[in-house]
Chain A
Amino acid sequence: MSNVPPDLQYTKTHEWVRRLPDGTVEIGITDHAQHALGDLVFVDVPEAGRALKVGDPAAVVESVKAASDVYAPVSGEVTQGNPELAKEPEAVNTDPYGKGWLMRLRPASGGTTAELMSAPEYQKLLQTEAA
């Protein structure tokens, strides 16, 4: 069973969003996504200052098998890409909700968000996809 922490929000494309106390959001890919991708060997995160709109390809995660885009779940400006992933892409596999975070961004005021799901809603999506 995939780990789906209750305090995060989720997208249909298997990103997670964590609201941080300073008003920025942290973004990563879910346990389900990292498991489906397999061993990650390269992660390309966006640079600070890049403006993203909901649904823009924001990062690339590459496993031995294939490259996959990670889409921005929220519009806004990137404040930081996770610098540790250049050396340690496997952190996305081992700790997808912690050390494996991909980027932080400051949501645009009045900016759009993708249809974010709660943890139970995302669990339901995973069950539907598995069926």
Chain B
Amino acid sequence: MGRKTPLFELHQELGARIVDFGGWDMPVQYASQITEHHAVRRASGVFDVSHMCPIDIRGTRVREFLRHLLANDVAKLTRPGKALYSCMLNESGGVLDDLIVYFLTDTWFRLVVNAGTRDKDLVWIRQQSAHFDVTVTELTDLAMLAIQGPEARAKTVALLSASGADAALALGPFFGREIDDWFVARTGYTGEDGFEIMIPAQDAVRIWRELNAAGVASCGLGARDTLRLEAGMNLYGNDMDEKTHPFESGLAWTVAMAPADRRFIGRTALENITPSRQLVGLLLEDRGVLRGHQQVVTPAGPGEITSGTFSPTLERSIALARVPAGALQQVQVDIRGKLLNARVVKPPFVRFNRSVFA
């Protein structure tokens, strides 16, 4: 049996099918993955993301430490509460994890890292922090919910005090702050507006039920995966890992190579890399479903799908694939021995419930 979040019994009561995800027993779907997907695109849905790990880092040199630890540059964070998406690299430039970092005060930053990598990340971060005199604290006794969709913010703030609701609604995209006894952030993994909230573990079941009562649909990891893939967002372990670097993972935009004197971990390796591969989006033009590990045939050589699924919004199959570098328009994918045609596109596939491709 895997680890369980404070909402595990409630998921079972709600009829969820439970699967292992990164060592955690998590709900993959309640009744219908497609219905849950559409609920988020059209109204609102709530996901249990308590398996992810918030880590507080405090100290007078915390900013200096994170400028060393992370491939993106926290010097970009000038307003308290602002968040940044970044990779954490090893010395070879391989991706140890992708994470969100919040700038809270000059001596306090918060990271949120993936479930499957949390133990390894904590060891790595503590090792790297040795010379920076910072404290690294894994936050426990919290539940984390993602409430996503066009109605998500309004439904969520109804559970806060009047002043708390005002404060939450005032949060700009990619900002977070403590409100009442929650930490509320306007972030997500679906391509829709919404919040991710950290709440006391003992309140999680009550808040989930209140959200359900307000019409927010319970959504599982299945819908989370189709939503993030439509939004063109990578999944750690599928689309990148320790053996791949950001430049071949569609993540060059998250690596701050300027200023040149910021010697973050992995920088030297990246400076010596000319990417021979790239991560692209694929839209299947024939009938079928693209899946991870299917082989891609391109004029420039072979590639492989890293994540593939049926897109409920587009009603066709989409994927991310690692293929040779260079301009590509049409490729073929080997599905059970048949070569099917796919068009190469730049993700995202869907933004705010609209197809990006006419």
Chain A interface residues toward B at CB < 8 A: 38-39, 41-42, 44, 60, 62-67, 86
CB <8 Å contact, B289 and A42: yes
Interchain CA distance A86-B289 in the complex, whole Å? 13
CB <8 Å contact, B32 and A42: no
For chain B, residues 73 to 124, give those with C-beta under 8 angstroms from any C-beta of chain A: none
- Chain B residue, CB-CB nearest to A44: B288
* A60/B336 contact (C-beta < 8 A), A38-B33, A41-B289, A86-B287 known: yes
Out of A42, A64, A65, A66, which one reaches B288, CB within 8 Å?
A: A42
B312 interfacial contact with A, CB 8 Å: yes
For residue B92, give the distance in angstroms from its CB to the closest CB of chain A.
33
For residue A28, give the distance in angstroms from its CB to the closest CB of chain B.
20
Interchain CA distance A42-B310 in the complex, whole Å? 9
Out of A38, A42, A44, which one reaches B222, CB within 8 Å?
A: A38
Interchain CA distance A18-B181 in the complex, whole Å? 60
CB <8 Å contact, A65 and B28: yes
CB <8 Å contact, A65 and B287: no
Residues of B within 8 A of A67 (CB): 289, 291
B298 interfacial contact with A, CB 8 Å: no
Interchain CA distance A41-B222 in the complex, whole Å? 14
Residues of A within 8 A of B309 (CB): 64
B29 interfacial contact with A, CB 8 Å: yes
Instruction: Please list 25 pairs of residues, one from A and one from B, whose beta carbons are closer than 8 Å in the complex, sorted by A's number.
Output: A38-B29, A38-B222, A39-B34, A41-B289, A41-B310, A42-B287, A42-B288, A42-B289, A42-B310, A42-B317, A44-B288, A60-B336, A62-B289, A63-B33, A64-B33, A64-B34, A64-B222, A64-B226, A64-B309, A64-B312, A65-B28, A65-B33, A67-B289, A67-B291, A86-B287
CB <8 Å contact, A64 and B310: yes
Q: Is the interface of B mostly helix, strand, loop or mixed?
A: mixed
Residues of B within 8 A of A42 (CB): 287-289, 310, 317
- 20 new A-B contacts, CB < 8 A, other than A42-B287, A62-B289, A65-B28, are A38-B33, A38-B222, A39-B33, A41-B34, A41-B289, A42-B288, A42-B289, A42-B317, A44-B288, A60-B336, A62-B288, A63-B33, A64-B222, A64-B226, A64-B309, A64-B310, A64-B312, A65-B33, A65-B222, A67-B291
Interchain CA distance A65-B336 in the complex, whole Å? 17
Interface centre among A38, A39, A42, A63 (most CB of B within 10 A): A39
For residue A67, give the distance in angstroms from its CB to the closest CB of chain B.
6
Interchain CA distance A130-B307 in the complex, whole Å? 31
Residues of A within 8 A of B222 (CB): 38, 64-65
Residues of A within 8 A of B288 (CB): 42, 44, 62
Interchain CA distance A96-B79 in the complex, whole Å? 56
Out of B32, B287, B317, B336, which one reaches A39, CB within 8 Å?
A: B32
Residues of B within 8 A of A41 (CB): 34, 289, 310
Residues of B within 8 A of A86 (CB): 287
For residue A93, give the distance in angstroms from its CB to the closest CB of chain B.
9
Interchain CA distance A70-B331 in the complex, whole Å? 28
Residues of B within 8 A of A39 (CB): 32-34
For residue A124, give the distance in angstroms from its CB to the closest CB of chain B.
23
For residue B286, give the distance in angstroms from its CB to the closest CB of chain A.
11
Residues of A within 8 A of B289 (CB): 41-42, 62, 67
Residues of A within 8 A of B34 (CB): 39, 41, 64
